[in-house]
Structure 1
């Protein structure tokens, strides 16, 4: 338990520092590239699943497996360390020469945190309950109970790799609104039509919808003119992870009181909320 606690702490520190670096690179590029960074993270998750599925049947023990990954990771970090930016790229009033450094969330960061919370709540529900939903409600057979989860994850990777192009062409607000609509429409389809094909298509739509919300919220937070990028990202990240932690047990509690279809239905409201809150980001920022 202590090791996992330390792992989680270090992982979130890495998450904040990587996103702060990504915001700096994005600022230098002058266009949206944050979602692509998160797409690479998703590809790393897929690679981890593939590696695990290969070595587990071979009987490789966890210790040599994890030790090999550790060596590869450390070698990668050593090779790329000199290519990282030595300091954050600060914007406007958050610059060091202004002498004003705020470490408290304002309304703008709180709104971004709430939007990201909704997306992370959706992610938590999909990670923990999509296969259970297929097994208990859709019932496609043992070999296909992970079809919805796989479709969701593949659509999420695809959405993140496409999101930057959509943002650069249409802007952040329309992409966030599209994401909210995809979450609401996709989950509604899966819940109202619990057959294999429509449920799989619905969860794929959910994956596409939740793909770009968190990367865009981190990107916007890192460009705050009142708070340093790393602090702004940590504030939004901390708020958003409440959704990731809280939503899965909430679904479990509701499923005992009603059934799993009703327990997952509040996520539809989350998608609608993201759609409605997205235009406020630009107004508050302005």
Structure 2
């Protein structure tokens, strides 16, 4: 390692952190103003639901192209382009003259957001490899900070009575500048290519790929387990986001307290991601996923078995903390799957994970309509059990001889 590498790594880490923060902030600038957009377009509830679905649909349609774009242009370049295009799509949605144009802009925004997601995670993983220890969870924590920042910007714009196009134009310009500055400090393509070379010696790699366990069937099994862990993680997050307030209301919590379920989940998840890198470095991804799965299953399982407002708040907090490191761990492992080109495993898992975001609300809604919301929220402990079953696919604790590159 040359003397300049630590400073280059630090600058690249700060740059990736800025990209994650920017990605979290962009849509969060729009989210609090969606009711305003609904009123301006004269949409009923069903039509509004279809409109906001355009975002994940666009993400799913474009998600699989992200890996090829990363290989062709570089992960940092893809992340920055996607950031700027996402901001432009949101501005187009806020300025559109009719609902069809808004749907189209949302679909494009979702597509660009999914490409950004793969690009920034891919570059974050490259930086992580150069550090030789887990740092990816801290990037995801900064995404949460960005979401809070975007929400505060939207609240300020509403208070100042800024027109939606003006507000989103400011957001687009601000975060485009941040992304372009970050690009200057990202790793060059040459460093990116060097970082994705196999870390095992050629002989060990040949032995590993020659074993029957390294067959296509094993690869498919590993991919399936990673997808199940990621979908379980996002279902926990989405179910808490979408249903926690309603469920606490059913338990008799006043409106202000009922909103605390969401805060408990995302707050604990943020804390888990801040602490996550240190815990992963010490205990390994597999142990952390097993702890997370147990927290999700036991915390929400007990909260649903013995329903009360305090117990449910603790259950949501346990689920948030338990899910904190799951998606970063899956992305790290997916990008290292043997036999796949760089970015391919990450793109596939990210794409399928977004299906979880798309399918989770109607699944819980269908179950709630037929068996009640309390039983429908059994998706929480079931998700925890899925994580426990699939956790062996994740890497264990590093041995001392693996070293630690600062």
Q: TM-score, normalised by structure 2?
A: 0.64
Residues 214 and 53 of structure 1: CA distance in aligned 2, closer, same or farther (over 3 Å): same
1:178-257 alignment runs, 5 A limit: 178-257=291-370
Partners of 2:199 and 2:179 in 1: how far apart? 32
1:62-141 alignment runs, 5 A limit: 62-87=164-189, 88=192, 89-92=195-198, 106-135=220-249, 137-141=250-254
Partners of 2:353 and 2:134 in 1: how far apart? 21
**Which ranges in structure 2 are unaligned for 5 or more consecutive residues?**
1-102, 206-216, 397-406
Highest Rg: 1 or 2? Answer: 2
* Counterpart in the other structure of 2:161: 59
* Counterpart in the other structure of 1:6: 108
Partners of 1:58 and 1:230 in 2: how far apart? 43
> Is 1:177 the counterpart of 2:283 in the alignment?
no
* Runs of 4+ off more than 6 Å: none
**Following TM superposition, by how much is the alpha carbon of 1:83 offset from its aligned partner in structure 2, in angstroms?**
1.2
- The answer on whether the counterparts of 1:180 and 1:209 sit within 8 Å (CA) in structure 2 is yes
RMSD: 2.3
Partners of 2:197 and 2:220 in 1: how far apart? 16
* Counterpart in the other structure of 1:101: none
- The answer on whether the counterparts of 1:23 and 1:223 sit within 8 Å (CA) in structure 2 is no
- The answer on whether the counterparts of 1:32 and 1:164 sit within 8 Å (CA) in structure 2 is yes
Partners of 1:189 and 1:91 in 2: how far apart? 46
Classify the secondary structure of the residue corresponding to 2:196.
coil
Residues 233 and 172 of structure 1: CA distance in aligned 2, closer, same or farther (over 3 Å): same
- The answer on whether the counterparts of 1:19 and 1:218 sit within 8 Å (CA) in structure 2 is yes
Partners of 1:6 and 1:18 in 2: how far apart? 18
Partners of 2:342 and 2:303 in 1: how far apart? 38
Moved more, 182-191 or 170-179: 182-191
Partners of 2:243 and 2:342 in 1: how far apart? 34
**Which ranges in structure 1 are unaligned for 5 or more consecutive residues?**
99-103
Partners of 1:7 and 1:148 in 2: how far apart? 29
Partners of 2:306 and 2:153 in 1: how far apart? 34
**Following TM superposition, by how much is the alpha carbon of 1:253 offset from its aligned partner in structure 2, in angstroms?**
0.4
Residues 173 and 32 of structure 1: CA distance in aligned 2, closer, same or farther (over 3 Å): same
Q: TM-score, normalised by structure 1?
A: 0.90
Classify the secondary structure of the residue corresponding to 1:106.
helix
**Following TM superposition, by how much is the alpha carbon of 1:48 offset from its aligned partner in structure 2, in angstroms?**
1.7
- The answer on whether the counterparts of 2:301 and 2:380 sit within 8 Å (CA) in structure 1 is no
Classify the secondary structure of the residue corresponding to 1:32.
coil
How many aligned residue pairs are there?
276
- The answer on whether the counterparts of 1:131 and 1:146 sit within 8 Å (CA) in structure 2 is yes
